[in-house]
Structure formats: C-alpha cells, structure tokens
Amino acid sequence: MAKPTPRFVCQACGALGPKWTGRCESCGEWNTIVEEAPAAGPSHARKTTGRHVDFVSLAGSAAPPPRTGTGIGEFDRVLGGGLVPASAVLLAGDPGIGKSTLLLQAAAALAKSGHRVLYVSGEEAVEQVRLRARRLGLADAPLELAAAINLHDIAASLEAARDAAMVVIDSIQTMWLDSIDSAPGTVSQVRGAAFELIRIAKASRFSVVLVGHVTREGTIAGPRVLEHMVDTVLYFEGDRGHQFRILRGVKNRFGATDEIGVFEMTEAGLAEVPNPSALFLAERRGNVAGSAVFAGVEGTRPVLVEVQCLLAANPQGSPRRAVVGWDSGRLSMLLAVLETRCGLRLNASDVYLNVAGGLRIAEPAADLAIAAAVISAATGTPTDPGMVFFGEVGLSGEVRQVAQADARLKEAQKLGFTAACLPRRVARGNRPLFAPEGIALHEIGHLGDLVGRFAGKTTKP
Ligand code: TYD
Ligand code: MG
C-alpha cells in the first residue's frame, strides 16, 4: 500500500499545502501551519450507482421557519426571532468573554419553558457547570448536562434524543473523533466533529449550538473553518475591561445579519440591556472638548454612542493615528478631508480616537460625529452637549444623506437630546423629514459649515 502523503493545514483558514511554511499563503497568518494525518477520503471501493435525487419546482410551499424563543430576548433577536429546528448555530468569541455563561442561561431558560435541552461540556467538569448554574440562580432548571469529549459516544446519545429542542456543544474545539488521526482542535477534528453533529441535528430536527473559541495561536482551529458549514454565525464580542458584551450576527440563513444584542456582564451572569444608548452614554461628561454623540443604527435598532478624540502635539513629524472602535483607514480619509477641504491643521498632532463603551462602529454615517469630535478637539471647544451628529462625508467634504434618519432622531429625542446636526436635505427628497418635537435640526451640506460653527464660538480658528 502506498504511504499516505502528509498534508499541512492552516489552522486559521483551513488551506491545504504540500509542505510546512512559516506563513500561510492563503490567509497570511504566521505559524498556523500544522501537519495533519490525511483524511480517510471517499472510499473508492464503493462502485454502486447512487439513487436519483428528486428535483422540485421553486413554487412549492415556503412557510417561514418555525421558531423556538429561548426567553433571552437579545439572543433571540440576533437569531432572527428564536432558534430554528434542525439548524446549526456557531457562537464564536474570545476565551473568557462569556459564551458558556450566555448559553447556560439560554439553555436553562428554554428548559424551564418545557423544552428538552442537552448541554455537553467538553471543557468543564459537571461540578463546575453546576457551580456556575447555582451562581446564576439556575440550578433548578431541568437541563440535561454531560461532560464528554468523545464524539462517537455523544453522537449515540444524541441519536437517541430525538425530542430535544436544543443541544449545546461547549466547545467544538474539545470534541474528539477517534476515526480521525489528529489532535482535538485541529482543522480535521473540528470539521469532522461539526459535520457529524450537524448531520444528527438535521436528522433529529433539533438546533445545535456550537461554541467556537477565536484563537490566535495556530494549534487550535478557529471558528472561521466552520462558518460555511453552519446556518448561523454569531460573534460574542466585548472588551474584557468593560462589562458590555455585544452579540453580533455575521451570517444567518434564517434572518438579518446586522442585528446586535447588548448584554452587561454582572455578578449574576449576563443581563440584557434593553436600552443600550442610555448605557453607552452613562459616563459622558458634557463640556469636554473632543467629544460628540453619534446617532447610529445597529440592525433595526438606533444606538447613541459617544465618540472621543484627543489631539496631542507632535511637532517632530510622522504623527500617530490610533483608533479604538472604528476603521483607521476611514479616520485617515476624514483627517485628510478636514485638512485639505476645510483648512484644519492636524499634521503636527497625534490623533487618538475612541468609541466609548467598547462598541465597534462600522457605519459611514459616523463620519460627521467623528469629524465633530476632531474639530472640537482641534478648536478646544466642546460640542453642544444636547446635540447628536450623523451623516456620511465624501472626499470633497460634502455631507451625504444616510438611511434611517427618522429612527436616529427619535432615539435622540427619547434620550433627552435637543438638537441634531445632519446632512442637508436634497431637493428631490419629497418625503418630509420627521422632526421630533423638541429637536432642533441643523442641516449642513459641507464639512466646512461644521468647522465654521466651531470657529464662530472660539477665538482660535
Ligand atoms: P465564560 O462564560 O466562562 O466565558 P467563555 O465560555 O466565553 O470562555 O465567562 C467567563 C467570564 O465571565 C469569567 O471571567 C467570569 C465572568 N463571569 C461573571 O462576571 N459573572 C458571572 O455570573 C459569570 C458566570 C461569569
Ligand atoms: Mg466556556
């Protein structure tokens, strides 16, 4: 028999190569290539002809999928309204961010409402999970708990549990298939185990939730190698230094992907945050230069956040630009527009930008708020503490319309703001903008107008 050729697999992206390299040519990560035993592959011995596949028309019945709400509203919202039977969800996140806590809470809530829920922990012993459940006040939930890593044993138990509604596997990187000759956590093991679990979930019509640790070191395969196999991918993010946690949908075959769920990590587990704006603005101080409130939209929900900018003199040249919570390329563009189109001098200053509260903003609508924070820092003039900002900025300095202006203004009104700085309405916009009572609208067409507003308040241009 021919000697099996070794194969080298990138643990970050799953790319295959014939030899070891220090850097993956596919994804560019360093030190992620690991030798793995060749997969068993399709058996060439089987020569029987396959059965025919049934093809059907597109115009069949297409009812929306049934949903099982877990009772954790923020989790259900990101899922698109609850768990879908016979589906696979991947919950990814850094170690220690709160994945096990979130799933234990969701599983217990679902079990308490009369559904059968199985929780398989490969990382913690039964006593540890029990201790956590007691701490969370969930010890009485009729959840079925097991500590196991051998996937063949787990699969046999799951095949017998056809009435289950939800099965949690914590984590997929600890699962071990004895038919694959490589260590738990490698790409082959992670993919093989996930494939088997998803197959059983589809056959038995339960939802399987796989926990996946985001890893930097190459010996453990990260969640990226599973994203194409599952129906829904959720990332649980947050800064360990902050108590906020954001659950973000990045792929969802059964719902929208731009939804977020906001939680707060407390002594008694994760608490839902129904009004994130109030939380993100809680520590804001009104009269500090370099701060502006952005009226953003995350999914279907408006969220107000504070952006902060600090300028520090650096006359030696090559100034630093450091950003937390926003795109650094976009900041460079905005600074260039402010210098070139509005005459603001920033090239002798380090620029530090921070989105308060640990939220990460991806919307271009934040441009205007960030520009306001930079201008405010540069002129030493605080922004109006009762004002919110939103609008996209183009390369010539023009301020462009953004979606959902009404929702942003309404949220600002709800939180007691009195003014909004937003893009000037264009003539063709025949739908009148809804201006909530008590909110004064300051429409601007060019970033220069914003600089002018600040210049009017201060002696230093
Ligand atoms: P965990 O759910 O174990 O994280 P993961 O499964 O993503 O690795 O959460 C671990 C952190 O959460 C740990 O540092 C302690 C903290 N925590 C609380 O602050 N309060 C709680 O009630 C619980 C259960 C955990
Ligand atoms: Mg865990």
CATH number for the domain including 186? 3.40.50.300
Between 20 and 45, the higher pLDDT residue: 20
Q: Which of 274, 289, 323 is the last residue of a domain?
A: 274
pLDDT of residue 194: 95
pLDDT tens digits for 266-311?
999 999 988 888 888 888 887 789 999 999 998 778 899 999 999 9
Report yes or no on 61 lying in a domain: no
Asked if residue 240 and residue 222 are part of one domain, the reply reads yes
Most confident of 249-253, 335-339, 454-458: 335-339
pLDDT at residue 54 greater than cutoff 90: no
Considering only 54-58, 111-115, 146-150, 445-449, which range has the smallest mean pLDDT?
54-58
The CATH number for 327's domain is: 3.30.230.10
Q: Which of 61-65, 114-118, 221-225, 256-260 has the highest mean pLDDT?
A: 114-118
User: Does residue 195 carry a pLDDT above 90?
Assistant: yes
CA 335 to centroid of ligand 2, rounded, Å: 41
7 or 109, greater pLDDT? 109
pLDDT digits (tens, 9 = 90+) for 431-444: 566 678 889 999 99
Is position 44 within any domain? Answer: no
Distance CA 131, CA 407 (A): 43
Q: Are residues 211 and 352 in the same domain?
A: no
Q: Which of 274, 303, 323 is the last residue of a domain?
A: 274
CA 227 to ligand 2 center in whole angstroms: 19
Position in ligand 1 atom list of the atom nearest CA 136: 22
Question: Is residue 1 scored above 90 in pLDDT?
Answer: no
User: Do the domain assignments include residue 99?
Assistant: yes
Q: How far away, in angstroms, is 120 Cα from ligand 1 center?
A: 17
Same-domain check for residues 245 and 287: no
Locate the ligand 1 atom nearest the alpha carbon of residue 123 and give its number. Answer: 6
63 within a domain of the structure (yes/no): no
Query: Given 274, 295, 323, which residue is the final one in a domain?
Result: 274
185-198 as b/e, with b when 16 or more CB fall inside 10 Å? bbbbbbbbbbebbb
Q: Are residues 317 and 175 in the same domain?
A: no
Atom of ligand 1 nearest to the CA of 265: 19
| 255 and 108 assigned to the same domain | yes
Tell me if 255 is assigned to some domain.
yes
Query: Residue 211 CA: which ligand 1 atom is closest?
Result: 6
Q: Are residues 187 and 314 in the same domain?
A: no
Contact 390, 369 (CB under 8 A): yes
Domain membership of residue 211 (yes or no) is: yes
Same domain, 164 and 252: yes
Cβ neighbours around 156 below 10 Å, total? 11
Check whether residue 102 and residue 217 sit in a common domain: yes
Listed residue (19, 2, 1) closest to 10, CA to CA: 19
Q: What percent of the chain has pLDDT over 90?
A: 55
The least confident of 173-182, 211-220, 414-423 is 211-220
Of the listed ranges 5-14, 51-60, 393-402, the least confidently predicted one is: 5-14
Mean pLDDT, residues 245-254 taken together: 90
More confident residue, 332 or 456: 332
Tell me: do 431 and 297 sit in the same domain: yes
How much is the average pLDDT of 74-87?
93
Question: C-alpha dihedral over 14, 19, 22, 26, to 10 degrees?
Answer: -40
Distance separating alpha carbons of residues 55 and 41, to the nearest angstrom: 27
Average pLDDT over residues 191-210: 95
In this structure, which residue's CA is closest to atom 11 in ligand 1?
96
- Ligand 1 atom 22: residue of nearest CA: 269
Asked whether residue 346 falls in the same domain as residue 251, the answer is no
334 and 234 in one domain? no
Q: Is residue 347 one of the residues assigned to a domain?
A: yes
Q: What is the pLDDT of residue 240?
A: 74
Write out residues with Cβ below 6 Å of ligand 1: 93, 95-101, 132, 135-136, 265, 267-269
190 falls in which pLDDT band (50, 70, 90)? very high
Residue of 75, 90, 91, 101 to mutate, ligand 1, most atoms within 8 A of C-beta: 101
* pLDDT higher at 153 or 457: 153
Is 138 contained in some domain? yes
Of the candidate ranges 80-94, 114-128, 210-224, the one whose mean pLDDT is the lowest: 210-224
Nearest ligand, CA of residue 271? Answer: 1
pLDDT range class, residue 132, cuts 50, 70, 90: very high
The chain-wide mean pLDDT, for the chain, equals 88
**Structural domain harbouring 30:** 1-36
Residue 121 and residue 211 in one domain: yes
Mean predicted confidence (pLDDT) in 246-274:
88
Look at residue 461 in the predicted model and tell me its pLDDT.
35
Dist. CA 96 → ligand 2 center (Å): 7
C-alpha distance across the termini of the chain, in Å: 81
Continuous H helices in 113-150: 126-135
**Count of domains for the chain:** 3
| Residue whose CA lies nearest to ligand 1 atom number 13 | 96
